[in-house]
């Protein structure tokens, strides 16, 4: 993923429990601050959706976009790319889960391009805010049980 912003967090739970929360798209509005609605467009095989539409409200920025997901066979990572965007013209991201002492290290990578001019430094700062909020929300959700 070219020019992605990356951050990691430790979660006190096994990778299987973390990935179960990541894959539970319907619950995203409950633990992510900016996602207001989710619609699974292609449920894929098993419990892993392959295409999902999100509605987000981040104050001044509101958007509806669709992501295509690719799940790793070992269930330790998932990556996505933008299928259809409103204000976004590209989005690539991934969660990578690595078991460690007492839990899982979750690494989130994200690269977003929008349909209006944005200085690279501001884009990376926005990506960092999104990533940090998502990782903290994921940690709260998983550790809550």
For 18-48, the pLDDT digits (tens) are 999 999 999 999 999 889 999 999 999 877 9
Q: Give the global pTM.
A: 0.91
The pair of structure tokens assigned to 46 is: 């098993």
- Tokens 């460690």 correspond to 100
Chain segment 55-91, per-residue pLDDT in tens: 998 776 789 999 999 999 999 999 999 999 999 999 9
The three-class DSSP label of residue 23 is helix
Q: Is the pLDDT at 1 greater than 70, yes or no?
A: no
Would you say 13 and 104 are in contact if contact means Cβ atoms under 8 Å apart? yes
Would you say 2 and 110 are in contact if contact means Cβ atoms under 8 Å apart? no
């Amino acid at each position: 993923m070219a020019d992605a912003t990356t951050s990691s967090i430790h979660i006190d739970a096994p990778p299987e429990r973390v990935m179960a929360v990541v894959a539970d798209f319907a619950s995203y509005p409950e633990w992510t601050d900016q996602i207001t609605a989710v619609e699974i467009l292609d449920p894929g095989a098993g419990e892993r959706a392959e295409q999902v539409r999100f509605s987000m409200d981040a104050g001044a920025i509101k958007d509806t976009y669709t992501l295509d997901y690719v799940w790793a066979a070992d269930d330790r990572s998932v990556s996505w790319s933008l299928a259809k965007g409103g204000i976004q013209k590209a989005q690539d991201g991934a969660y990578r889960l690595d078991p460690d002492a007492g839990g899982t290290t979750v690494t989130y990578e994200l690269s977003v391009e929008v349909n209006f001019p944005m200085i690279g430094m501001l884009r990376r700062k926005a990506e960092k805010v999104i990533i940090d909020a998502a990782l903290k929300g994921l940690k709260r959700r998983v550790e809550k049980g």
